[in-house]
Amino acid sequence: MEYDGATSTAGLNTEEWTMAYDLVIKNGVVIDGSGMPRYRADVGVRHGRITTIGRIRERAREVIDADGQVVAPGIVDGHTHMDAQVFWDPLGTSSCWHGITTVVMGNCGFTLAPCAKADKHMVVRNLQRAEDIPPAAMEAGIDWRWTTFPEFLDCLESLPKGINYSGYIGHSALRTYVMGERAFEQPAGEDDLRAMERELRDALRAGAMGFTTSRSPSHETPDGRPVASRVATWQEVRRLVGVMGEMNAGLFEIAGEGVDRAANDPGLRDYHVRLRDLAVDTGRPITFGVFSRRDVPDTWRRYLALLDETAAAGGRMFAQVHSRSLSALLSFKTQLPFDRLPVWKELRALPLREQAQRLRDPDLRRRLIEAADVRPDHKALGTEAQPANYDWTLVFDTVEGPHRSVAEIARERGCHPAEAMIDLALAKDLDLFFLQPVANEDQDYALELMRHPRTVTTFSDSGAHVSQLMDSSLQTHLLSHWVRTKRAFTLEQAIHMVTFVPATHWGFTDRGLIREGLAADLMVFDPETIAAEMPEVVDDLPGGARRLVQKTRGIAATVVNGEVLLRDGKHTGALPGQLLRGPLARRS
Ligand SMILES: [Zn+2]
């Protein structure tokens, strides 16, 4: 495009007018998200959109040389709990470091709206233990400026954002908003149901992605009661999902009933029939996480069968799966399985340096090791560390592994496994992680789950379980482990799985592909080196609380809505992220 600067047009400065592109990514190999084979091309971006794919010769305000690199769509993560974090961390760490440019939050019934500021303690109660987000961080970090869900979305829209956010309305918040304290104790009356339906309609019209709930025994309040959504009858759930059916909009996400914890639970089939029928009756897509568990080996296959059965019956349903085991990350710097045992509790209250000294005292060591054999009550995933199971407590000294079990090392050394843990940690100045898989332990099963055509590889849970889990890197793990090391997928397949597939399921019709006219959410990476780094413990939550973060190597640039958000993992200062409203808000 040639232009004579002397006849400048109103509203455009000369420089902007002469630039055909805001950004050109040159010489890269395009893997476009569709699953089709790669090709070499430049990608030109203007006004936040991909405008040209080909050989670009015109000038651009910014050029990224992607020679030897892959240019792919930004990753879409369909399962996060960034609802609180977005208020204090606009970048959306750790997700943004892994090429993720769009997240869906508000899963499992946990949202911050609708809720009046005066009642926020009730909503925080739903979130804090179930999702392990410190209440002090929420108190210090959130400026509560809404009551209804539409007001909450407007507030989100006004916040600075690095990546794109979208959110469901959560059942626990909705129920608490309408019923107050009764939400934690009683079934809803007809008036309650009508009020919930009304709020849900308003939320969907304003741009909620859908409705979420939890019926999971894992989800408790700090005082050990079920979160509010778990008190609901199935009829209440049907009424609310029915609202989405009437409006022909929105997804239903559910953290499932505890019918899959024991082999051959007769409740499992009943639950599956209810889910199938709800999908068929309402026509709305239903989605939930599915993980294999070593203690109930075949249950996950029954969930996969349910997906196909529902499709055959005329309903829509897809499962959210993970690229590796679901693990708690333990360390002296964060949590250990022994922390609630009296002798340990005393030790663990001390500063880390003092703990290291005392761990060398033979008498205390003996008492700690003896105490380690006492099993505390089994607690829910993601809330407190699980009781020690040394065959499934792995030394996490490299990301890629292999990871040896503490039991194996103890046998080799002829010592108690707890002693092995102490000595291994002391040898690293207590800076050593242990990995405790709690689901999806068998990687052949994890692969089979990812390969099912009605599953989506997502479920990072980012924003939640901040002190224990490190799942924001599950998509990076797919690219480094399953593509590069195991060759279980081609890069084209893997990119498709984490871009176009989730973008389609969640209805982001202008994302998830590299195609002219679509939003310019892009990642530029080296397929030979992309990998998650070791997690780190940082104290950066509002109020100074601790969390785990995990970075990536091998990603040269992350582009959101046409602006470069990260270069080699460093924030450029741009905050190009948007609130993505759901289908009804877009239709109007
Ligand atoms: Zn969740």
167 CA from centroid of ligand 1 (Å):
13
Residue 566's contacts (CB-CB under 8 Å, 6 or more residues apart) are 96, 97, 555, 557, 558, 572
168 CA from centroid of ligand 1 (Å):
12
Instruction: Provide the pLDDT for residue 540.
Output: 85
**Displacement of CA 340 from its chain's centroid (Å):** 28
For residue 101, the SS3 value is strand
182 in Cβ contact with 119 (< 8 Å): no
Instruction: Provide the pLDDT for residue 11.
Output: 52
Instruction: Provide the pLDDT for residue 384.
Output: 47
132 CA from centroid of ligand 1 (Å):
11
255 CA from centroid of ligand 1 (Å):
7
Low-confidence ranges of the chain (pLDDT < 50): 1-10, 378-385
Instruction: Give one word for 44, left, alpha or beta, with left for phi > 0 and alpha for psi -120 to 50.
Output: beta
Q: Which residues surround ligand 1, an ion (CB under 5 A)?
A: 107-108
The torsion of the CA quartet 439, 440, 441, 445, rounded to 10 degrees, works out to 150
131 CA from centroid of ligand 1 (Å):
7
212 CA from centroid of ligand 1 (Å):
10
81 CA from centroid of ligand 1 (Å):
6
241 in Cβ contact with 152 (< 8 Å): no
Instruction: Provide the pLDDT for residue 127.
Output: 77
Consecutive H or E run containing 176: helix 171-179
355 CA from centroid of ligand 1 (Å):
34
214 CA from centroid of ligand 1 (Å):
9
Tokens representing residue 269 in the block: 């089939």
80 CA from centroid of ligand 1 (Å):
6
144 CA from centroid of ligand 1 (Å):
22
Strand partners, 415: none
456 CA from centroid of ligand 1 (Å):
15
> How far is 403 from 409, CA to CA, in rounded Å?
11
14 CA from centroid of ligand 1 (Å):
49
108 CA from centroid of ligand 1 (Å):
5
61 CA from centroid of ligand 1 (Å):
40
495 CA from centroid of ligand 1 (Å):
23
> How far is 9 from 17, CA to CA, in rounded Å?
8
258 CA from centroid of ligand 1 (Å):
15
> How far is 65 from 48, CA to CA, in rounded Å?
19
DSSP state of 220: B
The residue among 79, 27, 580 whose CA lies nearest residue 319 is: 79
101 CA from centroid of ligand 1 (Å):
19
Strand partners, 319: 288, 455
CA distances from 243 to 108, 191, 251, 359, 500 (A): 18, 15, 11, 58, 28
236 CA from centroid of ligand 1 (Å):
21
Q: What angle in degrees, to the nearest 10, is found between the helix axes of 299-313 and 443-451?
A: 10
Each residue's pLDDT tens digit, 104-159: 999 999 999 999 999 998 888 777 776 777 888 888 899 999 999 999 999 999 99
464 CA from centroid of ligand 1 (Å):
8
415 CA from centroid of ligand 1 (Å):
38
424 CA from centroid of ligand 1 (Å):
33
Residue that is written with structure tokens 């804090």 in the block: 128
> How far is 221 from 340, CA to CA, in rounded Å?
18
